[in-house]
Amino acid sequence: MPTPTIGVFDSGFGGLTVLRALLPRIPAAHYLYLGDTARLPYGAKSQATIARYAVDSARFLHSRGATMLVIACNTASALALNEIRAAVPIPVIGVIEPVVQMAHYGRQGSQVLVLATSATVQSHAYQHACALRELEAVEMPCPLLVPLVEEGWIDHPVTREVLHIYLAEALATCNPSAVLLGCTHYPLIANPITDMLRELGSRASVIDSAQATAHEVALRLGIDTPNPSAPPATFTCFATDSIEKFQRLGSHFLGQPIPKVELLDLGG
Amino acid sequence: MPTPTIGVFDSGFGGLTVLRALLPRIPAAHYLYLGDTARLPYGAKSQATIARYAVDSARFLHSRGATMLVIACNTASALALNEIRAAVPIPVIGVIEPVVQMAHYGRQGSQVLVLATSATVQSHAYQHACALRELEAVEMPCPLLVPLVEEGWIDHPVTREVLHIYLAEALATCNPSAVLLGCTHYPLIANPITDMLRELGSRASVIDSAQATAHEVALRLGIDTPNPSAPPATFTCFATDSIEKFQRLGSHFLGQPIPKVELLDLGG
C-alpha cells in the first residue's frame, strides 16, 4: 500500500487533538493539518457560511495531495459533511460518526450524555447519529469549556466549578452509560470531567472523539494494530492566520512542538 | 445642523453597549450599526486581517450615508484606526482615546488598571494612549470575561470567582486610581467588577468605554447636554451572519429589542 496522505481540517487548534491521536495510531502516513484560524470559530456562524469555508479547506487539502480527509471539527462535521463529500473525490471522515459508533458497542438502548458547544448542540447532529444506533442522546451545551481550556485552566478550581454546574444540571435529567466529548478541545480536560462524574455519583465512561476518529481512520485503511517498527509519522501544518499563535497554542493540543507552519490565504 | 448619521461598527454584539450609550446621549441622530459577526472574533486575528475587515465595514457604512464613524471594537480601535481613517473621508472615533481621556482628568501621574481581551493587551494600545496623558497603565488580559457575559452569567458565583482571580492578581502589582473597561462586553458586568474591587480593598473608579465614547461623540457634534424634547433616535442594524442570533443576543447588549436586522455579505 502506498503511504497515505491524510488531510486533517479544523477551524482552529482543537483538531490537533485528533492529529495527536492519529500520529501513533497510523505512523506510516504523512499528515497535512489545516487550521482555518482566520475564520474561527465556526460555531457562531450559519450553516451556509460554515459549508463554504469547509469546502475551501477541503479543496485545498485535496490539491496538496490528500488521499483521505478527516474533518476534525465538530461544527463542520455536523453541518457541512455532505457538502465536503460532494466537493472532493476522496473519502471524508467526520468526528461525530466514529465517537457515536464507539459509544454504541454494548450500550444499545441506553442513554448517553453529549458535551458540546452551543452550535453543535443546536445542530442536534449527535442526537440524530445516536438515534440511528438505538442510543438516546442528551445534549448539553458547555460554552465556557473552550475558553477555559484555551486559558490553560486545566486542573483549576474554576474549571471544576463550571464542570460541576454543567454536569450536575445534565445528570439531573439523565443517567448516562457514556459521556461523549463532542468538541475537540475537551480531550484536554477528560480527566477533570471523569473526576467530576465520579464525584456526582456517575460511573459513565468518557469517550473522546479524537481516539474514536483515529480508530475509524485506521479501520478504513485496513490497519488493525499499529506497527511499532514503522518510522514516525510526518506532518505539515497550514494556518490562515498568525503562525506564531498557532505554534504557541497548538503545541498544547498536539502535545509536541510544531516546528513549522505555512501561512495560507483562503480569502475572506 | 442636519441630522447626523452615525455609523457604529463592531466585530459582533459588544459594540451595542456603545450604541446603547449613544442613543439617549445624542437622540437627534440616525444610527447604522454593523456587526461583522461572520468574521468575529477579531481578537485572534493578525493586524493585517483585522485592518482589511474593518476597512470593508467602514466603507460600507460610509456608502450608506454615515457622516461620522464610531469604531466600537477595542481590537479594531487598537490595530486599524489609521487604516480606517485613510479609507473614509469622515471623522472616525475609536473607543480607546475617549476612555483614556476621561480617566486622565485629575489623575495625572497615577496608575490605572486596564481590563481587556488578550489581543487588546498584546497591542499595548491602552499603555501607549495612557503614556501620552501621564497615566501609567497596567494591562490585565481577562479572556474568560467575554464568554461569561455571553453565557449570561452576570450575577453568578463563577463570574465572581474569575473576577476575584483576575483582579487580585492585578492589584498585587498596582494601586490604580481608576479601572478602565477595555472591552465592549464588560459594561454588562461593571457592577460585579466594582463590587469585587471594593471587596479587595480598592477604591478605584470604574470607567467604561461606552459612556466615554458617547461623551466624545457628543463633544465632536457640539452637543453639550442631551435635548430632552428631541424625538427618540432611530437605528438600523446590519450583520454579516445569523440575523436570529444577532437579535437574540444583541438585545441583551442594547438593553432593548432589535426589531430588524439586515443580512450583509462583505465576502470572506
How do residues A135-145 score in pLDDT, each as one tens digit? 999 999 999 99
pLDDT per residue rounded down to tens, chain B (268 residues): 678 999 999 999 899 999 999 999 999 899 999 999 888 777 767 788 889 999 999 999 999 999 999 999 998 999 999 999 999 999 999 999 999 999 998 898 999 999 998 888 989 999 999 999 999 999 999 999 999 998 999 999 999 999 999 999 999 999 999 999 999 999 999 999 999 999 999 999 999 999 999 999 999 998 877 777 778 889 999 999 888 889 988 999 999 999 889 999 887 5
Q: What is the pLDDT of residue A224?
A: 77
Q: What is the pLDDT of residue A268?
A: 55
**Considering only alpha carbons, which residue of chain B is nearest residue A164?**
B158
Residue-level pLDDT at A1 = 64
In angstroms, the CA A248 to CA A257 distance is 8
Whole-angstrom Cα distance, residue B256 to residue B250? 9
Looking at every residue in chain A, the average pLDDT score rounds to 93
3-state secondary structure (DSSP) of residue B224: coil
CB contact under 8 A, A245 and B44: yes
pLDDT of residue B100: 96
From chain A, pick out residues whose CB is under 8 angstroms from the CB of B146.
147
Residues B248 and B263: their CA atoms lie apart, in Å, by: 15
Q: Which residues of B30-65 are buried (b: 16+ CB within 10 A; e: fewer)?
A: bbbbbbbbbbbbbbbbbeebbbbbbbbbbebbbeee
Q: What is the pLDDT of residues A182-236, one digit of tens each?
A: 999 999 999 999 999 999 999 999 999 999 999 999 999 988 777 777 788 899 9
The yes-or-no answer on residue A183 being catalytic is yes
Using CA atoms, how far apart are residues B76 and B195, in angstroms rounded to an integer?
30
Specify the pLDDT at position B236: 96
Confidence (pTM): 0.87
Peptide bond preceding A41 in cis form (omega within 30 of 0): yes
Angle of helix A190-199 relative to helix A157-171, nearest 10 degrees, comes to: 60
CB-neighbour burial class of residue A71 (10 A; exposed 0-12, middle 13-18, buried 19+): buried
B151 at interface of A, judged by CB pairs closer than 8 A: yes
Do B91 and B116 touch, CB atoms closer than 8 A? no
Closest by Cα among A45, A26, A25 to A11: A45
Residue A34's contacts (CB-CB under 8 Å, 6 or more residues apart) are A7, A8, A9, A10, A57, A60, A61, A237, A238, A239, A264
Residue B239, chain A, CB below 8 Å: the answer is no
Question: So what's the pLDDT on residue A47?
Answer: 85
pLDDT of amino acid B1: 64
| pLDDT at site B231 | 80
Residues 6+ positions from A14 with CB-CB distance below 8 Å:
A72, A73, A146, A183, A184, A185, A253
* Stretch (H or E) spanning B87: helix B81-87
The rounded Cα A143 to chain-centroid distance in angstroms is 16
Which pLDDT belongs to residue B127?
96
Going by pLDDT thresholds of 50, 70 and 90, the confidence category of residue A170 is very high
Indicate the residue type of B95.
Answer: V
The ipTM value here is 0.81
The catalytic position among B73, B130, B142, B237 is: B73
Q: Could you give the count of Cα atoms lying within 13 Å of A19 in the half-sphere of its Cβ?
A: 32
Residue B59: CA atoms inside 13 Å, Cβ hemisphere, count?
A: 10
DSSP structural state of residue B154: S
Q: Tens digit of pLDDT for each residue in A32-82? A: 999 998 887 777 677 888 899 999 999 999 999 999 999 999 989 999 999
Give the residue on A whose Cα is nearest the Cα of B13: A44
> Which residue of B151, B157, B245 is in closest CB contact with A143?
B151
Select from A157, A161, A241 the Cβ nearest to the Cβ of B46.
Answer: A241
Instruction: Collect all residues of chain B within an 8 Å Cβ-Cβ radius of residue A158.
Output: 144, 158, 161-162, 165
Q: Show the cell assigned to B92.
A: 472616525
Cβ–Cβ of A151/B143 closer than 8 Å? yes
C-alpha to C-alpha distances, B179 to A185, B26, B143, nearest whole angstrom: 33, 26, 17
Q: How many CB pairs under 8 A join A and B?
A: 64
Domains and CATH numbers, chain B: 5-94+212-263 (3.40.50.1860), 97-209 (3.40.50.1860)
Given the residues A73, A130, A142, A237, the one annotated as active site: A73
- Letter for the amino acid at B55? V
Shortest distance between the Cα of B20 and any Cα of chain A, in A, equals 23
Looking up cell 497591542 gives B123
Cα separation, B192 vs B153, in Å, equals: 11
Task: Give the closest residue to A209 by CA, choosing from A5, A57, A19.
Answer: A19
Query: Using omega within 30 degrees of 0 as the cis cutoff, is the peptide bond preceding B27 cis?
Result: no
Instruction: Single out the catalytic residue among A130, A142, A174, A183.
Output: A183
Spatial separation of the C-alpha atoms in residues B142 and B162, rounded to whole Å:
9
Q: What percent of chain A is modeled with pLDDT above 70? A: 99
